[in-house]
Structure 1
């Protein structure tokens, strides 16, 4: 079992059993094809989105995040059209929240991490850095010692650097400690 499979099992403990495909007609002689393996970026984005779901929580109406920024869904501060979230916005449904989360992970945070940390070499490490950046922003990644350690290939030092970012409002927050531990475990 890979680390990613184990981790996804923790955050999605109930996965339905696959349903058997209907039997081919006798006149058909097409052999079933195995599912294509997921690519590096897709796998990383799925794990990062799972982390964000777990630690951001789902809010279908606008709210102020702990930093005082209007947010909606799984911590979105902007809509895909670039409009900022305000506290006067309409509620969204879970499908919209999911779309916004995947949009942010794939089009905002994945490219930022790939640009700032080209040395990332596994989907697990990429997922951890995407979630870290989702939570703390690309600006913090850009100026962090974490980025320097990643790009120097000093992977043994990376978990400690991730764990340093566990404060909000000047104090250690349990939710951030747990999130940093989950990210560090993927390194």
Structure 2
């Protein structure tokens, strides 16, 4: 490096790939008419509770498959950014996909402030990561998401 030059840390901004997209679509399901989710929040499309403009989904709303894909493409960016910002260690594409799926489901703040993120960033054992990944299994006070978390963790550990 020449005298006076500063080394610039290259920022890597990962994005989900087709497998990540398929994971989220499969886990969330695709419903083109608004419905009440397990905790009674109006939801549409691929688990959307709000639209890209910030409006909340309302009962009676309907969308097409094309519109669903458009909304997903706009909304998923915030979850990709959250994972990119929170995770400070190198990760694989599968690990990124699994974490975006989790973040998409639990929300940016919950993900970013989670013990899971702290464990990943401190290079904890895979058993610790699994423990904190699968800890996010409750919705409405019931462990209805444990199967999803186990599937996401399996992807997290797939090379």
**TM class by smaller structure:** 0.7 to 0.9
- CA deviations on 1:126-154 (whole Å, 9 max, x unpaired) are 11110000011111112211010111122
Question: Cα distance, 1:180 vs. partner?
Answer: 0.6
Which of the residues 125, 146, 164 maps onto 2:95?
Answer: 125
Runs (5+) with no aligned partner, structure 2: 1-11
Q: Is 1:139 aligned to 2:109, yes or no?
A: yes
SS in 1 for 2:136: coil
Which of the residues 172, 175, 178 maps onto 2:143?
Answer: 172
The number of residue pairs the alignment matches comes to 144
Q: Is 1:84 aligned to 2:56, yes or no?
A: yes
Mapped to 1, the partners of 2:90 and 2:34 lie a distance apart of: 34
Mapped to 1, the partners of 2:90 and 2:59 lie a distance apart of: 37
Q: Is 1:109 aligned to 2:109, yes or no?
A: no
Q: Structure 1: which 4+ aligned runs deviate by more than 6 Å?
A: none
Mapped to 2, the partners of 1:155 and 1:104 lie a distance apart of: 32
The two structures have a TM-score, normalised by structure 1, of 0.70
SS in 1 for 2:132: helix
Mapped to 2, the partners of 1:46 and 1:52 lie a distance apart of: 10
Pick the structure with greater CA Rg: 1
Runs (5+) with no aligned partner, structure 1: 1-38
The answer as to whether partners of 1:49 and 1:102 remain within 8 angstroms in 2 is no
The answer as to whether partners of 1:128 and 1:183 remain within 8 angstroms in 2 is yes
Mapped to 2, the partners of 1:179 and 1:121 lie a distance apart of: 21
The answer as to whether partners of 1:49 and 1:101 remain within 8 angstroms in 2 is no
- CA deviations on 1:82-125 (whole Å, 9 max, x unpaired) are 22211143x111111122222222x2100011111232421111
Mapped to 2, the partners of 1:133 and 1:119 lie a distance apart of: 17
In the alignment, what sits opposite 1:100? 71
